[in-house]
C-alpha cells in the first residue's frame, strides 16, 4: 500500500509560519475575516517534538476556519462520531499528513497491525451500521492532503464505508457544499472474507467520494483500491463544466483522462465513477481502478 508522496515527509518547522500565510491566501473571505493569522495545530510527535493533540478529531474540533492541522506519522484509530472516524463540520480547515505512507487513519480496532485484514480486528460501527473514515459534512473549503485511510467498512446494505468523503448532503436532493480539494491521498482496504457471499460481508465501499457539492473541487495525485464499489466516485456535482473531449460518452463521463484496464464480462464495477448527470469531474494525476472487484466500464 506504499505510494509515492509529496514528498514522503515534510519538515514541520519552518512550515508553520509559511502555512499560516498560505491559508489566508487560499481560504474564503469569511475565513480571512475571522482570523488575521491562521493557526497550525500539530497532531502526534514529529521529530521528537510532541504536538498539542494526540487525536486528530480533537484537533479538528479545536480548529477555526483557516487553520492548518499537521499530522505526524502514526496510526490513528479515530472515533469522531458514531458513523465516522474523523468528522469535520468547520469550513476552511486544512488537513495535511507529514508522510503519505506513514500517516494512517485506520478503521480497524486498535491492534498491533496497521490496516489489519483479520476479521476479528474490524470495526463495523454501532450495531453494524458501518463507518466512514474522514467525512467532511456540508462545509466549504476543506482540504485533505498527503495521508492514507484504510478499512472503514459499510453495513450489509452498502451504506457508509467511504474512506474519504466530502459529503454535501448525500441523499437529500440538495447541494450543500461548495469548494473542496484532496491531493496525494491513498484509500484502501485489506479486509475481504474469501468464500463468504458478498451479501453477508461488510466491506469498504468507496475510496475517495465527493457528493452534492457545487465546487470548484479537485482530487489530484491520489490512489484508491480494493473497494467493493468505486475507487473514486463523484456524484451530483451540478456545476462542473462539461468537456466533451474528456468524456467519450456523455452518459458515462470518464474524467480528465482515459482509463485503460482489464474488465471481466458482465462486471460493471467502476474504478473511477463520476455520476454527475453528464458532467465531467476534473481528476488530475494517477487514479487507478479498484482492485480486485473494480473494473472499467466498456469503452
Q: Where are the beta strands (DSSP E) in 4-141?
A: 40-43, 45-46, 49-50, 68-71, 74-76, 84-88, 94-97, 103-106, 132-137
Among the ranges given (20-24, 63-67, 158-162, 262-266), the one the predictor scored with the smallest mean pLDDT:
262-266
Integer Cα distance of 96 and 109 in angstroms = 23
Q: CA torsion 218→11→163→202, rounded to 10°?
A: 160
The 10s digit of each residue's pLDDT in 235-281 is: 766 644 333 333 333 333 333 322 222 223 333 333 444 443 333 33
Domain boundaries, the chain: 15-284
As a whole number, mean pLDDT of residues 77-83 equals: 96
The 10s digit of each residue's pLDDT in 155-185 is: 999 899 999 999 999 989 899 999 999 999 9
The 10s digit of each residue's pLDDT in 25-61 is: 445 555 545 556 889 999 999 999 999 999 999 999 9
Considering the entire predicted model, what is its pTM?
0.75
DSSP 61: H
At residue 148, does pLDDT exceed 60? yes
User: Quick one: pLDDT at residue 192?
Assistant: 87
User: Quick one: pLDDT at residue 2?
Assistant: 54
Amino acid at each position: 500500500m506504499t505510494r509515492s508522496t509529496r514528498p514522503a515527509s515534510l519538515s514541520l518547522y519552518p512550515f508553520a509560519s509559511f502555512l499560516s500565510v498560505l491559508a489566508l491566501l487560499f481560504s474564503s473571505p469569511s475565513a480571512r475575516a475571522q482570523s488575521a493569522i491562521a493557526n497550525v495545530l500539530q497532531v502526534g510527535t514529529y521529530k521528537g517534538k510532541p504536538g498539542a493533540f494526540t487525536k486528530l478529531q480533537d484537533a479538528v474540533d479545536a480548529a477555526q476556519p483557516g487553520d492548518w492541522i499537521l499530522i505526524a506519522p502514526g496510526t490513528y484509530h479515530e472515533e469522531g462520531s458514531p458513523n465516522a472516524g474523523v468528522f469535520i463540520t468547520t469550513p476552511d480547515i486544512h488537513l495535511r499528513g507529514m508522510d503519505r505512507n506513514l500517516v494512517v487513519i485506520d478503521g480497524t480496532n486498535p491492534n498491533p497491525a496497521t490496516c489489519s485484514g483479520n476479521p476479528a480486528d474490524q470495526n463495523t460501527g454501532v450495531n453494524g451500521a458501518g463507518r466512514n473514515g474522514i467525512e467532511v459534512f456540508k462545509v466549504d473549503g476543506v482540504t485533505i492532503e498527503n495521508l492514507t485511510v484504510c478499512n472503514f467498512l459499510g453495513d450489509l446494505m452498502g451504506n457508509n464505508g467511504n474512506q474519504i468523503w466530502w459529503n454535501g448532503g448525500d441523499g437529500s436532493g440538495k447541494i450543500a457544499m461548495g469548494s473542496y480539494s484532496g491531493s496525494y491521498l491513498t484509500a484502501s482496504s485489506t479486509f475481504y472474507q474469501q468464500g463468504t457471499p458478498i451479501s453477508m460481508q461488510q466491506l469498504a465501499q468507496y475510496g475517495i467520494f465527493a457528493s452534492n457539492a457545487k465546487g470548484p473541487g479537485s482530487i489530484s495525485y491520489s490512489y484508491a483500491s480494493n473497494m467493493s464499489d468505486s475507487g473514486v466516485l463523484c456524484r451530483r456535482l451540478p456545476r462542473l463544466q462539461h468537456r466533451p473531449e474528456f468524456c467519450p460518452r456523455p452518459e458515462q463521463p470518464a474524467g480528465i483522462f482515459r482509463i485503460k484496464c482489464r474488465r471481466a464480462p458482465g462486471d460493471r464495477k467502476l474504478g473511477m465513477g463520476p455520476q454527475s448527470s453528464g458532467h465531467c469531474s476534473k481528476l488530475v494525476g494517477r487514479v487507478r481502478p479498484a482492485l480486485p472487484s473494480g473494473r472499467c466500464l466498456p469503452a
